[in-house]
Structure 1
Amino acid sequence: MELIYQTLIRSFVQPAILVVGDLMIDTYLRGASTRLSPEAPVPVVDISSQTSVLGGGANAAVNLRNLGANVTFVSLTGDDYAAGLAAELLEREGISNEVIRCNTRRTITKTRVIAGQQLLTRYDEGTEVQPDEDCERQLIAMLEQQLPLHDAILIADYNKGLITKGIIDALEQMNHVHKKFIAVDAKQLSRYKQLQPDLVKPNYKEAVALLGLQELATCKARQMEEMGAAIFDATNARITALTLDEEGALIFREDKLLCHTAARPVNNPNVSGAGDTYISAFMLACLADAMPATAAEVAGAAAAVAIGKRNTAHCKQGELIAYFSAKDKYVRNSEELEALCNMYKAQGKKIVFTNGCFDILHSGHVSYLERAAALGDVLIVGVNTDESIKRLKGTERPINSLNDRVQVLAGLGAITHLISFGSEENDTPEPLIRIVQPAVFAKGGDYSRESLPEAAAVEAYGGEVVLLPLVPDRSTTQIIKRIYTTPVLKVAEA
């Protein structure tokens, strides 16, 4: 099943997506605070870093781009410094920028001041009312130009005034002609009923407001399971993906409940922007002809990857493929390995790497691998190929083939992933180390730092070489010698 998901995700590069939505810039001022201001009893923050990222509808565009799609973003900004910054950020993300600058507006910017891990204040700037008639006409003209060039459109309405009734009416007329896939993520979904969207994604709070219900602290799924007809009546959507945080998601086709997908567990989730990730992945899966239940599984995985990160709520295509690969211990190639390692590092996990032939697995190997795993969160093991072992140990080796060795090693709980290595040019694991860039490189105590040619590569990436003591009198060579020297017992014929 994981291979089916991976094939589906690789197809995300095919569609061209038009995104229209509120453009916002999220700016973070970070520093330390050790004193109060003499003017008032408020902390003084010595700013050490300033970071700006795309927010709002632009964040949805970034999510689609990170998942592999070709993306064009249409919006309105002011004609100011923040608009120029937004253009730079869109270009950096590889998103085609068709944002119109209007001198009657100011670009929306949300600035947060953070001391250590504590948010002290946020101040907002920008225009959050409907555009004037001239700006509205320019936006409609841009949509008329761009919609025919794309496979689908995502409307990301953060209720900041951008999407007017006139724009919705214009989109309805355009789609009568061009028949594009329409996805909507909006605070007020009922405004888009006339578009008959292919996909809408309300969260629980939005759905409750849409239907005029009371919010519940628990049992949200049970409350909403019977609401398919009411949701369809309010949205006219072909598919509704209703996200319920820790209770997963309910997927409806028109007024019928299709499935309830479980939330994927994430330690210390950073949920900001998770909805943008979810609808982006769901939309791309639908465009790749996935069934809604499959699209929901992929979208849930993408959101899990995003909220598992410490800093940013984006899921890259390679990370999503790696997420489904993570259940498979054997890593097939260096591209898959790199994506897995990037995913683990984004989650703040400490990677340990070790390598060996592991020709005949014995208690010394098991003890060594368990101690190596205890040095971090993820243990990746490089295993020499059969040809590599022959070059290193002679033509009589290996005793067991690579496939057999990997299958036995995969049964050990200490190991997270396995990958084979070795070539005529280089039988050391250095090429893998340059991909993994482990925090720890573990080797047995029969080696020294100086005898490991790959140690320099480990340390070049800031890693540590750790030598672990071996179990006495345990080695593959000794086992093979005992096999060859032990007399064969002859069983007397009855």
Structure 2
Amino acid sequence: MISGAPLVVVGDALLDIEVVGRADRHSPDAPVPVVDVTARSFRPGGAGLAALLSARDVDDVVLVAGFADDSAGERLRALLPKGIRLVRLPFAGSTVCKERVRAVGPCAGPSVDGVPAPITRLDSGDGRVTDEPLDEDVRTAIGSARAVLIADYGRGAAAHPEIRALIEARARRAPVVWDPHPRGPEPVRGAALVTPNRDEAERFVPGGTEFGSRARTLTDRWAAKAVAVTLGAEGAVLYCRGLPGVVPVPLPVERRASANADTCGAGDRFASAAAVAMADGAGTEKSVRHAVASAAEFVRAGAASAFAITQTEAAMRLRVFATESAHTARNEVRNEG
């Protein structure tokens, strides 16, 4: 467990909801499966998941993100471990929720070892970080970070002009790992490592180019120190500025999950593991090799679903969170008086 100055995660926090059930029949209205729900669970998503994963390895994690003051936003904040310090960004709209529906049964998709197959995903919420001025605690958090991880989910945090200026300034003194999004902005100049996945790299650099060439092109385009294109079970390919060639980082066959394994959150695990390694002083190649191994273990252990909590436990945490928030608010009023 690394201790010292904080690892700061900046990005878009989401609420992820897992719905699991059985699909034994099709709807009479359309050729779609009917899912009889057997369980519903919740977990932090987006930058929230990246912070949760980072907190497994680092004593001091700060999450800089926007949160709506709605019921879903309260639930999201209640799901975050108490050891993660929250610094709020200006935000407008409702909490973004991503609800995955998975099922087993004859009308669901192929299932390996009884793992539910994906049926559909329901997205809701329109919340975004706005361009309003930042509070001083945002500047303090980023300015004191031993490493910064940007978990961009295209909801405005990575596009905020002042945040970008703060991160670019911090990149001159501490490693910045940037996990990009197709609907987000380009990384700031000077990032120590940018981590697009296979689909993102193909979108950023279309054509029949090899992924190593894409990594080199993106390193130049973004003025980054390095780019690692993640390739799922195949590992990653790394290009570091100033080196003559690319570095393949394969994943041994014996460490790969099954072909139909759930990979939700693997990109967050890769980026968070790389940021943790860099925060501890590891070089770029060593950090990427550590990230490939960590993401593989994460998938083998059940991926993001392993971090979801039941509806009953989520409700209990929400009650505790509401009680503590009310107590804090009363103390603030008393101190102001």
**TM-score normalised by structure 2 residue count:** 0.75
Q: Tell me the CA shift for residue 292 of structure 1.
A: 2.4
CA contact (8 A) 1:90 1:97 kept: no
- Measured on the aligned residues, the alpha-carbon RMSD in Å equals 3.0
Q: Is the aligned partner of 1:294 residue 2:290? A: no
Match of 2:123 in 1: 124
Structure 1's 313 and 31: CA in aligned 2 closer, same or farther, altered over 3 A? Answer: closer
CA contact (8 A) 1:271 1:313 kept: no
Match of 2:88 in 1: 99
Q: Which is greater in Rg?
A: 1
Match of 2:251 in 1: 263
Q: Tell me the CA shift for residue 43 of structure 1.
A: 4.9
Task: Measure, in 2, the Cα distance between the counterparts of 1:44 and 1:193.
Answer: 42
SS of residue in 2 equivalent to 1:60: helix
SS of residue in 2 equivalent to 1:170: helix
Match runs of 1:139-288 below 5 Å: 141-172=136-167, 174-175=169-170, 179-188=173-182, 191-214=185-208, 223-227=210-214, 229-256=216-243, 257=245, 259-265=247-253, 266-268=256-258, 269-288=261-280
Q: Is the aligned partner of 1:112 residue 2:100? A: yes
Task: Measure, in 1, the Cα distance between the counterparts of 2:233 and 2:240.
Answer: 22
Match of 1:427 in 2: none
Task: Measure, in 2, the Cα distance between the counterparts of 1:119 and 1:190.
Answer: 26
Task: Measure, in 2, the Cα distance between the counterparts of 1:106 and 1:299.
Answer: 33
Q: Name the % identity.
A: 26
SS of residue in 2 equivalent to 1:20: strand
Q: Tell me the CA shift for residue 278 of structure 1.
A: 1.3
One-letter code of the match for 1:79? D
Q: How many residues get paired?
A: 291
Match of 1:20 in 2: 10
Structure 1's 196 and 190: CA in aligned 2 closer, same or farther, altered over 3 A? Answer: farther
Structure 1: state its 5+ residue gaps. Answer: 1-9, 216-222, 316-494
SS of residue in 1 equivalent to 2:133: helix
CA contact (8 A) 1:90 1:96 kept: no
Structure 1's 298 and 314: CA in aligned 2 closer, same or farther, altered over 3 A? Answer: farther
Q: Is the aligned partner of 1:84 residue 2:78? A: no
SS of residue in 1 equivalent to 2:8: strand
**TM-score normalised by structure 1 residue count:** 0.53
CA contact (8 A) 2:7 2:276 kept: no
Structure 1's 243 and 36: CA in aligned 2 closer, same or farther, altered over 3 A? Answer: closer
**CA deviation vs aligned residue, 1:20-79 (integer Å, no higher than 9, x gap):** 111111111223345566777765543332101111111111111122342111111221
Structure 1's 131 and 284: CA in aligned 2 closer, same or farther, altered over 3 A? Answer: closer
**CA deviation vs aligned residue, 1:327-376 (integer Å, no higher than 9, x gap):** xxxxxxxxxxxxxxxxxxxxxxxxxxxxxxxxxxxxxxxxxxxxxxxxxx
Structure 1's 208 and 67: CA in aligned 2 closer, same or farther, altered over 3 A? Answer: same
CA contact (8 A) 2:101 2:118 kept: yes
Q: Tell me the CA shift for residue 122 of structure 1.
A: 2.2
One-letter code of the match for 1:247? E
Q: Tell me the CA shift for residue 313 of structure 1.
A: 6.6
Structure 1's 111 and 270: CA in aligned 2 closer, same or farther, altered over 3 A? Answer: closer
Q: Tell me the CA shift for residue 18 of structure 1.
A: 0.8
CA contact (8 A) 1:159 1:187 kept: yes
Task: Measure, in 1, the Cα distance between the counterparts of 2:138 and 2:229.
Answer: 28
One-letter code of the match for 2:271? I
Which structure carries more relative contact order (alpha carbon 8 Å, separation 6+)? 2
CA contact (8 A) 1:20 1:156 kept: yes
SS of residue in 2 equivalent to 1:196: coil
CA contact (8 A) 2:130 2:160 kept: no
Task: Measure, in 2, the Cα distance between the counterparts of 1:167 and 1:229.
Answer: 28
One-letter code of the match for 1:234? R
Q: Which of 128, 137, 146 lines up with 2:133 in the alignment?
A: 137
Q: Which of 55, 59, 72 lines up with 1:65 in the alignment?
A: 55
Match runs of 1:379-390 below 5 Å: none
Task: Measure, in 2, the Cα distance between the counterparts of 1:228 and 1:114.
Answer: 34
CA contact (8 A) 1:29 1:47 kept: yes
CA contact (8 A) 2:9 2:148 kept: yes
One-letter code of the match for 2:155? K
